[in-house]
Chains A and B, each alone.
Chain A
Amino acid sequence: MERIPILKIGDHLLVSIQVDMHDRLALALQDDLTERIVKHHARGVLIDISALELVDSFIGRMLGNIAAMSRVLDAQTVVVGMRPAVAITLVELGISLPGVKTALNVEKGIELLRGAIQTQKPGDGSHQQL
């Protein structure tokens, strides 16, 4: 079955979605990422959606799920590279990606992940608002 590749770079996992995703592929990515976070003890997940021409409610839900699942596995998720037209449409659709951190591009996303991991104190009970 077709899979979206997940790259490991240090403490982080990097996913770049380059295809028009059907629903099964989105669900497979969700499962694969969760497994890889645990397997590699990843602290950060960076999802590049700059090639995506649409984010509908299904893909939006998937991004939210990935962020929530990585959070309970002690990893941070950042979604980067959303196209302006996609952002407008997503908000009009009624999705604001609650609990999902975003950055404009991969570079800023990695900065955000590094910062978030460094400033995270052990036992820090702060949670992102859902």
Chain B
Amino acid sequence: MAATSNSEIVEVRSGDDVVVVRQKVRDWAVTLGFRLVDQTRLVTAASELARNTLQYGGGGTATIEALSNGVKKGLRLTFEDKGPGIPDIGLALTDGYTTGGGLGLGLSGARRLCSEFEIVSRVGEGTRVTVARWT
């Protein structure tokens, strides 16, 4: 069982906040002892998801949580917004699908970069995306 031992919440309201999220996730990943490639995967996934929170959700929060299951350490990232929500999650997770003029790789790419991925979205209420990786 994974027990949360420590966490931090970062506001995502501007492009500069996306950079802050990246830096915080990097710091946490280094502290938890992730190897360099995994640090880079986590930071890149965080960058994609934080940008989505800003661009499609109109801003929100990023929660960074350190996990431990006794053997391994983990990092869980949760991005929440109270934006318009995603009507078709399957479509949003398709490589190359975008409504924002980007490459359409943010959500699907972030999913590939993390071992755990969950998305909950309700139209008119908002979206929550959770990803995690273990050392």
Contact = CB atoms under 8 A, between A and B. Distances in A.
Interface of A: 20-24, 53-58, 60-61, 83-86, 88-90, 92-95
Interface of B is mostly: helix
B98 to A, nearest CB: 10
B48 interface: yes
Nearest to A90: B44
B22 interface: yes
A60 B113 contact: no
Interface residues of B, number: 27
B47 A94 contact: no
Contact of A85 (B16, B37, B47, B95): B37
A95 B19 contact: no
B40 A93 contact: no
Interface string B93-116: 001000000110110111011000
Contacts, number: 73
B4 interface: no
Given A22-B15, A61-B103, A93-B113, A54 B37 contact: no
Contact of B40 (A20, A57, A85): A85
A84 B38 CA distance: 12
A95 to B, nearest CB: 6
B103 A86 contact: no
A60 B109 CA distance: 13
A85 B39 contact: yes
Contacts of A88: 37, 40-41
Given A20-B23, A22-B18, A89 B102 contact: no
Given A54-B47, A93-B112, 13 more contacts: A20-B19, A22-B15, A53-B26, A56-B47, A56-B48, A58-B47, A58-B102, A88-B37, A88-B40, A88-B41, A89-B41, A92-B112, A93-B44
